[in-house]
Amino acid sequence: MSSVRVLVGTRKGAFILTSDGRRKSWNVQGPLFEGWEIYHVKGSPAEPNRIYASQSTSWFGQLIQRSDDGGASWAPVGNGFAYDGVPGTHQWYDGTPHPWEFARVWHLEPSLGNPDTVLAGVEDAAIFRSSDGGQNWQELSGLRGHATGPFWQPGAGGMCLHTIIVSPKNPERIFVAVSAAGAFRTDDAGVTWRPINHGLHSEGIPDPDAEIGHCVHRIALHPSRPDVFYMQKHWDVMRSNDAGESWSEVSGNLPSDFGFVVDVHAHEPETIYVVPITSDSVHFPPEGKLRVYRSRSGGNEWEPLTKGLPQSHCYVDVLRDAMAVDSLDSCGIYFGTTGGQVYASSDAGDSWEAIVRDLPAVRSVEVQTLA
């Protein structure tokens, strides 16, 4: 029988939630790495028992942990994230030059085909690759070295590279997103990059339609359609049908188009999910009602999903890496909140149940569907 493993990163450790395919009864393992901030935990699609975790504190820096037995045991691997060459400067919040400084790993993206190959998105924004299971890391410096690099600026959470998507049809094509620089694409496995932000509109920058400067929060795709992308931007939910060459807004009837997460149903490429948040200055759901919104038409027309979710006095946030889907026949949707709840739906969002309620603030949620 199939089973599900949910990998949860929180502000004070990691947790692994497991269930059989019915997804009614859950085992909770953790906290792992207790007291450390776990920005992201993700398993290898090629070898599900290979899992990588980003472990950090402001005090003692960054570690990468690796498990080869599905999370039962862990060992630290390499943490040498050195920028290639002289890092130079980007823009600080006030527009003045600021040196690139490594702070932490936000996102780990294991290769679709090789469990020893993994990409890491870091703050200050850069992408690194390891080809030896996380022991050694080399920067793909063409991204940070892009001509626009000196003009990138941080979002409120820091200048983080938080989204990495390797095209399921072409491993040399990689998409990344940086807050608050925008989305970028390489077609040569990371040697050269270019911004793909045409159609994005952001009020917080001098030229709202500029090539860079957009605070992209999250991008998602369905593996069967590698050129169709959905984006939750700082404000606006966006869609691209041409691998990021152009974007159009699909916010439609959402109560707020500010938010962090966006994800796609495992079997229905036009069914997408977001969690609206009130605004950039009010990071909780509109009216204190926690609602996932689902569109079955690839955007524009949205329906609220509320069954099992708190519909009063709810003031949590759902951060950008904190939603994931499983690939069981009845697609499961999962998300974690800054209030420490991890909600699961085993019926594509129609109804929800909290797997756990009182974890530390959830930073990331990933799901593995196991045979």
Partner 1 sequence: MIRVLLPAHLKTLVNQQGEIEIDVEGPVTLRNVLDALEVRFPVLRGTIRDSVTQQRRAYVRFFACEDDLSHQPADTPLPRAVAAGAEPFIIVGAMAGG
The binding site for partner 1 (CB under 8 A) comprises 34-36, 57-63, 76, 79-80, 82
Q: How many CA atoms lie within 13 A of 212 on its CB side?
A: 24
Task: Select 1 or 86, whichever has its Cβ closest to partner 1.
Answer: 86
The nearest distance, CB 80 to partner 1, in angstroms, is 6
Reduced to 3 states, what is the DSSP secondary structure of residue 185? strand
Q: How far is the CB of 9 from partner 1 (least distance, A)?
A: 17
Burial of 329 (0-12, 13-18, 19+ CB in 10 A): exposed
User: Shortest gap between Cβ of 154 and partner 1 (angstroms)?
Assistant: 18
Query: Is the CB of 78 or the CB of 288 nearer to partner 1?
Result: 78
The smaller minimum CB distance to partner 1, of residues 61 and 95, is found at: 61
Question: Is the CB of 49 or the CB of 79 nearer to partner 1?
Answer: 79
Q: How far is the CB of 145 from partner 1 (least distance, A)?
A: 18
Nearer to partner 1, 33 or 258 (CB): 33
CB of 329 within 8 A of CB of 316?
A: no
Q: Is 67 within 8 Å of 49 (Cβ atoms)?
A: yes
Q: Is the peptide bond before 45 cis (omega within 30 degrees of 0)?
A: no
What is the C-alpha to C-alpha distance for residues 65 and 52, in angstroms, rounded to an integer? 6
CB of 122 or CB of 216, closer to partner 1: 122
Strand arrangement, sheet containing 362-370:
27-32, 13-20, 3-10, 362-370
Least Å distance, CB 102 to partner 1, is: 9
The DSSP output letter for 48 is: T
Least distance from C-beta 70 to partner 1, angstroms? 21
Counting Cα atoms < 13 Å in the Cβ hemisphere of 18 gives: 10
Both tokens of residue 359?
A: 């974890």
Nearer to partner 1, 189 or 361 (CB): 361
Quote the CA–CA distance of 201 and 128 in Å, as a whole number: 29
Going by C-alpha positions, the residue among 269, 370, 365 that lies closest to residue 318 is 365
Least gap, CB of 82 to partner 1 (angstroms): 5
Cα 331 to Cα 268: distance, rounded to the nearest angstrom: 9
